[in-house]
Chains A and B, each alone.
Chain A
Amino acid sequence: MVTLVRAPNPSPMTLSGTNSYLIDCGYGQALVIDPGPPIASHVDTLLEAARVQSLTIAAIAVTHWHPDHAPAAAPLAGMTGAPIYAHPASSIPHDRDLELERDLCIGQTALRAIDAPGHTFDHVIFYLARDRALFTGDVILGEGSVVIAPPGGAMRPYQRTLQRLADEFGEASVIYGGHGPIVTDAQAKIAEYIAHRRMREEQILAALADQAQTIPELVLRIYGKTLNPLQPAMARQILAHLIALEGEGRVAAEPTGRAMSAGEDTMLNPRIEEIVAPEEAAIITAELGSQLRIGALYRYRLNAAVSGELP
């Protein structure tokens, strides 16, 4: 059985809150995936969920380092003695490196640890073959879409991760995402995510085919001119696409040579700590990669030689 314990940290980035999962692995042992933010009541709820099912928390696994997913691992480990597992490249404190593409065995249950870079470099997805279920962290959510933002996020690795799920986990039927509701049509959701990124990139290429543009111009063109609090997320999203296209030689970036206007600066470099509480600012900053200050304004143009190709 899989128990969803939702953390009390709702926000635009975390939707209704972070999803922590308690998995009954047999022999009275449980695995917790993504203990969540460091909120004492949430850790208590996880412990209580294990207690009522007469389970011992035998292991803790973290899908990625972000502050809405990982920090409760340390107190939960302290209270249960369970080891913390994470991606070998993860910067979060952990006791054991996950063996990627191998099974993590707890109790009677094996979960495949899948290397899933893109949202962050240290992202893993777990596949529970017993339930034909994927635990996708922030690679796929129950609703809405995921922010892929540099420097931690990278678009092509993310797209390859999605494609791998479609190619190699075609038997998966359930997705337990890091936020939002449980998805019962896994394959349709994976296909929707793949199509969404492709559509966005085609929009960007179409806009650049008209004329060379800056990221703020692309945001207004693609997402509309209405002032929207999510514009910085859109800007970073477009940056991730542009960086991928630049690497492939399909788009070139040239400095505009002028200073940013206040509006452009706010869109590219949002001052989040001035708007929200510190805990929430840490989460938004991690999601947007907005610790990366974009110092210069670039104009992006299609490279003539390859402009005709679409992915």
Chain B
Amino acid sequence: MAIPRLAATVILMRTPFEVYLTRRSSSSSFAADAFVFPGGTVQAQDGTPAAHARVHGRNDDAASRTLLVAAMRELFEEAGVLLACTKAGYRLEAGRINAEEIASERAGVRDGALPFADFLASHDWYADARALAPFSHWITPSSEPRRYDTHFFLAIAPADQTVTADSIETHDGCWISPSEALARHRARRLHLVYPTIKHLERLAAFSELESLRDFARSKPIYTIEPATTMEGDFWIPAELEGAW
């Protein structure tokens, strides 16, 4: 039985209510060609004291900080969005983060040449933990050879930043409403994997970010590991539908 790898995923949202999905490249080892939320596995660099020192906003334990750094880094790598603040916790003024100016640094973070913490430090920016709201916790069924222990976070896209897909892990990105994504999936025009589908179904019950945010604040997080049916499909029993 494979041990799940720790991973962080960010559900990036904007008004009117849409979420950002990136298409995994067809050569990806996992969920090739599927549209997914930006995210990836936790790396050693996410757990260093240098990385933890670059998190602002919550007095979290080490394990939680590592996850936050991983989520921030993956969001930056895959969508080009940086949820950053100053040392004192102020939001950066509009336009401070310019995608074109930091494009080469983003490439460096993405290919591992530039540690994310070093990149933040060089600008004296801090990862703004307040911008990420923990939402859910999924573990891939133990029947799978490749398993992830994934923490999902909600985030609202900063109005002054443009979201841009990278060209290596993901080669396409889109803003889409959860219900539209599900409709296209049913029409076989959009390839989605099970955890993405279940999250989109959950999100589709909301029409605006504010009500979703209130829900996320009051929602307890229960770990869910879907079962695998005899046909090999992932499955959550009806009794647990609302319980994750």
Contacts and interface: CB of A to CB of B under 8 A. Distances in A.
A117 B141 CA distance: 12
Interface in B40-59: none
- What 7 pairs between A and B have smallest CB-CB spacing? A247-B227, A93-B61, A121-B223, A151-B243, A151-B222, A249-B230, A243-B237
Interface in B1-54: 1, 3-4, 6
Nearest to B61: A93
A86 B238 contact: no
16 contacts: A84-B61, A91-B137, A93-B60, A94-B62, A94-B63, A95-B62, A120-B223, A121-B139, A121-B225, A243-B239, A246-B227, A246-B237, A247-B235, A253-B237, A292-B239, A298-B239
Contacts of A121: 139, 223, 225
B221 interface: yes
A182 to B, nearest CB: 29
Contacts of B231: 249
What is the predominant secondary structure among interface residues of chain B facing chain A?
loop
Interface in A135-156: 150-152, 154, 156
A117 B225 contact: yes
Interface of B: 1, 3-4, 6, 60-64, 137, 139, 142, 149, 220-225, 227-231, 235, 237-240, 242-244
Q: Which of A94, A97, A247, A249 has the most CB of B within 10 A?
A: A247
Query: For chain A, which range describes its interface: under 10, 10 to 19, 20 to 34, or 35 or more residues?
Result: 35 or more
Interface of A: 84, 86, 88-91, 93-97, 100-101, 115, 117, 120-122, 150-152, 154, 156-157, 160, 239, 243-244, 246-249, 253, 291-292, 294-296, 298
B63 A97 contact: yes
A157 to B, nearest CB: 6
B3 A101 contact: yes
A86 B63 CA distance: 9
Contacts of B6: 88-89, 97
Interface centre among A152, A154, A244, A294 (most CB of B within 10 A): A154
Contact of A248 (B61, B220, B230, B238): B230
Contacts of A154: 225, 227
Query: Considering residues B224, B230, B235, B238, which has the most beta carbons from chain A within 10 angstroms of its beta carbon?
Result: B238
Contacts of B60: 93
Given A152-B222, A160-B142, A249-B229, A93 B64 contact: yes
A122 B223 contact: yes
Contact of A89 (B149, B227, B242): B149
